[in-house]
Structure 1
Amino acid sequence: MAARVIPIEIVSDTVCPWCFVGKRRLEKAIAAAKNRNLPLEFKIKFKPFQLDPTLPKEGVSKIKKYEAKFGPERIQQMIPHMQVVGAAEGIKFSYDGLIANTVDSHRVLEYALQKGAQLELVEELFKDYFERNKNIGDHEVLADAAARVGLDKEEVLAYLKTDQGKHEVEEQIESAYRRRITGVPHFRINGTYSLGGAQDPEAFLEIFEALAKQ
């Protein structure tokens, strides 16, 4: 029996820590589904969201931005907590560096989608921002990440210098707002199941089991 292809759309922002965690947990669930020999294959697509559209392209201090948003005392509790959560998923969260507007990072992810390299680039951008303290509002950083997953760096830089893909990204973000998605990650599985937040692998597996029985 041929495996059934299950589309999974993930509404995500490239500076959202729970989106990185959610990606890793989904991957654990997919690995578990394969171990259970569920007759499913998964087609994953990341769709854009902006947690803070007011961020400048040049970036601002990540830690200062978080302190302004949540307060210094809360941040002192949040950072160790996120580092523990991340470590369980193989993520080394760091809070140095800059946080910047994410529109261009979403544009390059749309570009990578057309080239069949979106999933690999999502991983690289998450690592750049959360582990390597790179500014993913910087075109050089984005193009370097794209090159690491096999895309042409100069083509990506030329693309980023234009407004190509910007309208499509903005439309998809508006679509998420219209669907009343206010937080990310948000997972839509097979067009019928929706999950909000960085769910445990078991939550995904329950859905996969149900789909396998249909």
Structure 2
Amino acid sequence: MSKRPVKLIVISDFSCPWCFIAHRDLQDAIAQCSNLPVSFEVEYRPFLLHCSAPAEPIDKNEYVGRKIGRERWEACKLMATERGETVGINFSFSGPISLTIPAHRLMTKAYEIGGPAAQCSLITPIFRAYYEDDLDISDPDVLADAAEQAGIMTKAEAVNFVKSDECLAKVNHQVAEARAKGVTGVPFTIIDGKWAVSGGQSAPVFVKIFSKLAEAPSSPPSQSSTPVPVPAVAVA
């Protein structure tokens, strides 16, 4: 039986713990839906959750605590830690924060090199470096290690890429495009350019959505609380 392809665009940022959790949940849901008459192509696109973060790394807790309030940040860390444990993430919130543009540029390059599979191989090493190993993901060596681990480039190739400005214009364009389309928070998942899933959702929620897509491919999922109509979003 041939499977109908479903394109998923996931707008996310590496500085968002819920994006890491959402990636795990989405991959879990896709695995659970392997028997459905649909196949999935997942493209990750950039968002800058902390667009005022400095180019040079500073203490993560200090910056985010000052930006959103320490009490709110502590509550966020607790919730993310508890939720992360259920999907195998050992969150640590120490270490530095800086603009995530270099990591997004590398993800964009990975898509150009190997499409969704390359991005899927790369995204977890970057998230782990940031949220489990407390590393600076604007550091060319850190990103190069992730690229080499994912089999995207050699370490030397990746270092040279990160030190360049290749893919910068495309990342800036996609960030601006997401905001122009009304995306104000992440993760944000666009399904076939027609429906959106806003915020981090559990694997069972995605399984329900994908099952409805499989049952009625010409109609939007009927679950009113999650998929919502969105303006046309470029998926090319």
The corresponding residue for 2:92 is 94
Instruction: Report how far residue 108 of structure 1 moved.
Output: 0.6
The corresponding residue for 1:152 is 154
The corresponding residue for 1:180 is 182
The corresponding residue for 1:127 is 128
- Inter-partner Cα distance in structure 2 for 1:78 and 1:210: 32
SS of 1:132's equivalent in the other structure is coil
SS of 1:11's equivalent in the other structure is strand
CA root-mean-square deviation: 1.3
- Inter-partner Cα distance in structure 1 for 2:18 and 2:80: 9
SS of 2:71's equivalent in the other structure is helix
Instruction: Report how far residue 29 of structure 1 moved.
Output: 1.2
- Inter-partner Cα distance in structure 2 for 1:187 and 1:83: 22
- Inter-partner Cα distance in structure 2 for 1:78 and 1:209: 31
SS of 1:94's equivalent in the other structure is coil
- C-alpha contact (below 8 Å) 1:14/1:102 kept by paired residues: yes
The corresponding residue for 1:137 is 138
- Inter-partner Cα distance in structure 1 for 2:163 and 2:72: 38
Instruction: Report how far residue 190 of structure 1 moved.
Output: 1.7
The corresponding residue for 2:40 is 42
Task: Specify every segment of 5 or more residues in structure 1 that has no aligned partner in the other structure, as ranges.
Answer: none
Q: TM-score, normalised by structure 2?
A: 0.86
- C-alpha contact (below 8 Å) 1:57/1:138 kept by paired residues: no
Change (3 A) 1:156 1:175: same
Deviations 1:2-59 (A, max 9, x none): 112111100000111110111111112112212xx21121111100000112212221
Instruction: Report how far residue 186 of structure 1 moved.
Output: 0.3
Bigger relative CO (Cα 8 Å, ≥ 6 apart): 1
Paired positions, count: 212
The corresponding residue for 1:113 is 111
Instruction: Report how far residue 79 of structure 1 moved.
Output: 2.1
For 1:24-63, list aligned pairs within 5 A. Answer: 24-34=24-34, 37-63=35-61
Deviations 1:64-118 (A, max 9, x none): 1122123333333332222101101111110110011111110011111122111
The corresponding residue for 1:81 is 79
Q: 2:192 aligns with which of 190, 193, 208?
A: 190
- Inter-partner Cα distance in structure 2 for 1:75 and 1:48: 23
Q: Identity over aligned residues, as a percent?
A: 35
SS of 2:33's equivalent in the other structure is helix
- C-alpha contact (below 8 Å) 2:53/2:98 kept by paired residues: yes
- Inter-partner Cα distance in structure 2 for 1:25 and 1:10: 12
Instruction: Report how far residue 202 of structure 1 moved.
Output: 2.6
SS of 1:115's equivalent in the other structure is helix
- C-alpha contact (below 8 Å) 2:15/2:50 kept by paired residues: no
- C-alpha contact (below 8 Å) 2:21/2:200 kept by paired residues: yes
SS of 2:41's equivalent in the other structure is strand
- Inter-partner Cα distance in structure 2 for 1:124 and 1:204: 23
Q: List structure 1 runs of 4+ shifted beyond 4 angstroms.
A: none
The corresponding residue for 2:4 is 4
The corresponding residue for 2:229 is none
SS of 2:61's equivalent in the other structure is helix
- C-alpha contact (below 8 Å) 2:100/2:138 kept by paired residues: yes
